[in-house]
């Protein structure tokens, strides 16, 4: 598609991406924008990232850019760093070879068919066939400003459908995360998942168990922190995928009237509402909401089994829930620690004595815990929780703003100053002798 027939202009492309494209082109290499950025520009959307594809090998790319670092074991990539802006450059991928003696065909698969290493290079035509969805196999050339389509991606965009390139079952086995990506692209772009692309998802959903938990954490953020949280949840639940992200909820989510289902759904509704109002969302709050009822149920079991206090039981239950969840989604400490605070503050918020209440207002996670209390009251429709929420709402209005620095200091008997020892370095100077 020549420049005269498509809307993409260099004015829409970031300056740093243009620098990378032109340096590769001027050095004798092919240079294309590829994937989601081309797709989004064609749909009139502003791309979040600009990715580049080239026939230059990773080491050749590194030689061209002082600000380049090579990353990745599964597939070698070059990151060109411009401060906080990173342009990802990938060498054209090729087809796998069964010839083990070939030194250039270096790929490796797991017993489930998942690609573990994929450093196989090829032509742009081969690269297009190795990409996941047809709408992501579009290339914008810096040489002639034309768009190159090797997989009928333009036709699928016009028809409003999302279709995998190649055999869907094989492509999902190569990388099960493609099932999550199918849902995310469908909701984000308003596309329908084409029938042959959709059909294998339920039977193969269990392959998500083989994905590293850290990678699923990144996919969780992409799915639920970009204004399509509710739509993604409902689609993932329908396709039997959500239960592999949160196995502890597998049974409870079968009943739409359960507290667990209603809590998860409402948390995603609230997330979309906040994002649409350009307000921030903390993943810790979202994880806390999703796992709250399993934690509460486990705490009740611990109290019955061991006789621990409620606070201690919740601490043990929180640790247990986070340990089990880390097998599917690895939650970093910067989020797991605030999650614990939100859960344990649900107990402390029951303490409404004035002095304790004022101290609690200064807790760094008070506001999140207060919002969480109101969410619980809506879900459970419990008069006691509603009354407690009303107390804290009124108490905040009546009390001056309290910060950790302005929090009341503990009062009590003043400690006596420690006595100096006999060998103290601060001794009295001897009196001057009289003549």
User: Active-site positions?
Assistant: 49, 51, 132
List b or e across 50-60, with b for residues whose CB sees 16 or more CB atoms inside 10 angstroms: bbbbbbbbbee
Quickly tell me which residue has 């599964």 as its tokens.
74
Nearest alpha-carbon partner for 91 in 107, 75, 69: 75
Alpha helices by DSSP H, 240-351: 242-245, 259-276, 283-306, 310-325, 333-348
- The residue among 154, 160, 162, 155 whose CA lies nearest residue 180 is 162
- The answer to whether the CB of 171 falls within 8 A of the CB of 132 is yes
Q: Which residue has the tokens 């620690």?
A: 337
Q: Nearest to residue 341, comparing CAs of 318, 312, 317?
A: 318
Backbone φ, ψ for residue 78 (5° rounding): -110, 130
Q: Which of 230, 245, 222, 258 is nearest to 176 (CA)?
A: 245
The DSSP secondary-structure symbol of 133 reads: B
Burial class (CB in 10 A: 0-12, 13-18, 19+), 288: buried
């Amino acid at each position: 598609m020549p420049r005269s027939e498509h809307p993409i202009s260099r004015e829409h492309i970031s300056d740093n991406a243009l620098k990378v494209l032109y340096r590769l082109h001027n050095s004798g290499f092919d240079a294309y924008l590829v994937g989601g950025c081309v797709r989004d520009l064609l749909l009139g959307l502003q791309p979040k990232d600009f990715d580049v594809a080239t026939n230059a090998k990773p080491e050749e790319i590194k030689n061209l850019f002082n600000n380049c670092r090579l990353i990745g074991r599964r597939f070698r990539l070059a990151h060109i760093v411009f401060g906080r802006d990173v342009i990802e450059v990938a060498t054209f991928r090729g087809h796998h070879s069964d010839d083990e003696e070939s030194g250039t065909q270096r790929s490796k698969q797991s017993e489930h068919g998942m690609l573990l290493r994929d450093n196989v290079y090829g032509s742009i035509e081969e690269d297009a066939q190795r990409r996941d969805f047809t709408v992501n196999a579009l290339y914008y050339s810096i040489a002639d400003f034309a768009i190159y389509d090797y997989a009928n991606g333009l036709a699928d965009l016009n028809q409003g459908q999302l279709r995998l390139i190649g055999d869907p079952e094989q492509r999902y086995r190569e990388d099960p995360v493609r099932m999550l990506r199918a849902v995310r692209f469908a909701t984000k772009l308003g596309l329908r998942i084409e029938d042959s692309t959709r059909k294998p998802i339920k039977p193969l959903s269990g392959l998500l168990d083989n994905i590293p938990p850290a990678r699923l954490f990144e996919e969780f953020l992409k799915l639920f922190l970009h204004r399509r949280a509710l739509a993604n949840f409902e689609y993932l639940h329908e396709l039997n995928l959500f239960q592999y992200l949160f196995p502890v909820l597998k049974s409870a989510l079968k009943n739409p009237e359960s507290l667990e289902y209603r809590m998860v759904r409402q948390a995603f509704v609230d997330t979309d509402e906040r994002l649409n109002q350009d307000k921030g969302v903390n993943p810790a709050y979202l994880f806390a909401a999703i796992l709250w009822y399993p934690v509460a149920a486990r705490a009740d079991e611990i109290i019955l089994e061991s006789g621990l206090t409620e606070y201690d039981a919740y601490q043990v239950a929180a640790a247990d829930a986070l340990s089990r969840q880390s097998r599917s989604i690895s939650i970093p400490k910067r989020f797991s620690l605030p999650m614990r605070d939100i859960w344990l503050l649900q107990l402390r918020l029951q303490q409404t004595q004035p002095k304790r209440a004022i101290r609690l207002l200064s807790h760094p996670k008070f506001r999140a815990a207060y919002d969480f209390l109101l969410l619980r009251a809506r879900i459970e429709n419990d008069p006691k929780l509603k009354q407690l929420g009303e107390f804290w709402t009124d108490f905040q209005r009546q009390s001056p703003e309290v910060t950790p620095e302005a929090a009341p200091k503990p009062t009590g008997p003043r400690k006596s100053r420690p006595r100096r020892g006999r060998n103290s370095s601060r001794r009295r100077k001897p009196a001057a002798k009289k003549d």
